[in-house]
């Protein structure tokens, strides 16, 4: 498995690979590759081309067929491609075999997301979480990193040469580091719980949504702050909390990492302490990029992730953002759609244009009053 660390420039070329089959149609895979291209751009690569292949069953050795492997290998050599990214997860053996065929670095979707998280982690907590997820991902892939070392047997009774010794040494170091990182996260989590207890008396509202839906931009608009916001995937990894006052009522608003299709499970596990803001929130603002052609699927991905976090049953306001990117006709069609009529409360806004923000504030306050009206003190 590649661990290349070259400085990436706009000329650092990459190719993408996706597979389709009866359960996953070609049109959907093309859409997924468009998202993978955004991930590659966020990681600092320029996507040169995309490859598609229909497969009934993945090749256990190279995931895709030998003919497509040869085609991509020729393209990689001719166009000086530095990286090939597969939209699906590869086994360590598959990745090793593919790199040997291509003669360049190979990443799967999980590896690319981990690279982005590593680049964008800022706080001590986020850096610890990302390092833990990366090491857990790397551990079973160590064999492919030591192919340059001697593998001659050391003599009768010896299992292997320098390569095997180096691998075992690295495995031991990684396992020790994983153990230390888990202890660090437990300590950080206790500190976070202490801080959250001080906010227990105030209503907590948390922003959730698919990555790049505009959560940070909405937080800036609602709180009149300058939280970092960028038109790229995973612009925000660290939790940011601000206090909001409206109509003589105050509440805290928290923004954290966005969700995405096929979000690696070990990342969800490692970020659970960060996502405690979501689990412990009183109200969720589910922000949706209504201008994205796959926004309905994005809603489903977020809802499934909330189920995994045991946070799916909280009062939720659907906030359809980026209305400024819709035409008047598209706005009318959305307002008449089943998604707008079925879900309540929901609101169509533009965070960057600050459109309908007063109405959103009023909707949040109405939900807070509902919660307060049903809250009672048990004296027994």
What pLDDT was estimated at residue 327?
95
Q: Which pLDDT tens digit goes with each residue over 343-376?
A: 889 999 999 999 999 999 999 999 999 988 765 4
Cβ neighbours of 216 (radius 10 Å): 24
198-220 mean pLDDT: 87
Among 57-71, 111-125, 167-181, 188-202, which stretch is predicted with the lowest mean pLDDT?
188-202
Q: Which residue in the block uniquely carries the two structure tokens 């609602």?
A: 222
Calpha distance 283→305 (Å, rounded): 16
pLDDT band at 167 (very low <50, low <70, confident <90, very high): confident
What pLDDT was estimated at residue 329?
95
Strands 203-209 and 283-289 turn out to be parallel
Calpha distance 7→30 (Å, rounded): 29
What pLDDT was estimated at residue 316?
95
Q: Which pLDDT tens digit goes with each residue over 87-109?
A: 999 998 999 999 999 999 999 99
Residues of 284-320 as b/e, b for ≥16 C-beta within 10 angstroms? bbbbbbbbbebbeebbebbeebbeebebeebebbbbb
Could you give phi then psi for residue 206, rounded to 5 degrees? -125, 135
């Amino acid at each position: 498995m590649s661990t290349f660390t070259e400085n990436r420039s706009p000329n650092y070329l990459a190719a993408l690979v996706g597979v389709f089959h009866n359960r996953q149609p070609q049109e959907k895979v093309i859409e997924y590759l468009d998202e993978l291209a955004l991930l590659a751009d966020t990681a600092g690569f320029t996507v040169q081309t995309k490859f598609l292949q229909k497969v009934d069953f993945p090749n256990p050795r190279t995931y895709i067929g030998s003919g497509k492997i040869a085609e991509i290998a020729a393209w990689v050599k001719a166009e000086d491609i530095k990286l090939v990214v597969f939209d699906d997860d590869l086994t360590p053996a598959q990745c090793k075999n593919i790199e040997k065929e291509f003669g360049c670095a190979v990443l799967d979707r999980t590896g690319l997301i981990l690279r982005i998280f590593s680049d964008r982690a800022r706080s001590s907590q986020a850096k610890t979480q990302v390092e833990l997820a990366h090491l857990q991902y790397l551990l079973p892939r160590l064999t492919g990193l030591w192919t340059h070392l001697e593998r001659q047997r050391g003599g009768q009774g010896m299992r292997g040469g320098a390569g095997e010794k180096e691998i075992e040494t690295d495995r031991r170091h990684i396992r020790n580091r994983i153990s230390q990182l888990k202890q660090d996260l437990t300590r950080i989590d206790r500190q976070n719980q202490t801080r959250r207890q001080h906010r227990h008396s105030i209503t907590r509202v948390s922003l959730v949504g698919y990555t790049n839906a505009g959560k940070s931009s909405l937080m800036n608009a609602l709180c009149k702050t300058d939280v970092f916001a960028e038109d790229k995937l995973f612009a925000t990894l660290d939790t940011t909390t601000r206090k909001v006052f409206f109509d003589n009522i105050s509440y805290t608003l928290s923004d954290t990492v966005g969700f995405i299709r096929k979000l690696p499970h070990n990342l969800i596990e490692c970020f659970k302490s960060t996502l405690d803001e979501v689990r412990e929130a009183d109200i969720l603002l589910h922000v949706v990029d209504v201008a994205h052609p796959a926004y309905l699927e994005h809603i489903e991905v977020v809802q499934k992730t909330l189920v995994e976090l045991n946070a799916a049953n909280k009062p939720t306001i659907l906030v359809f953002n980026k209305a400024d990117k819709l035409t008047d006709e598209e706005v009318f069609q959305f307002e008449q759609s089943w998604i707008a009529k079925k879900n309540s409360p929901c609101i169509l806004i533009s965070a960057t244009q600050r459109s309908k923000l007063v109405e959103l504030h009023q909707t949040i306050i109405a939900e807070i009053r509902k919660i307060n009206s049903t809250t009672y003190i048990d004296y027994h």
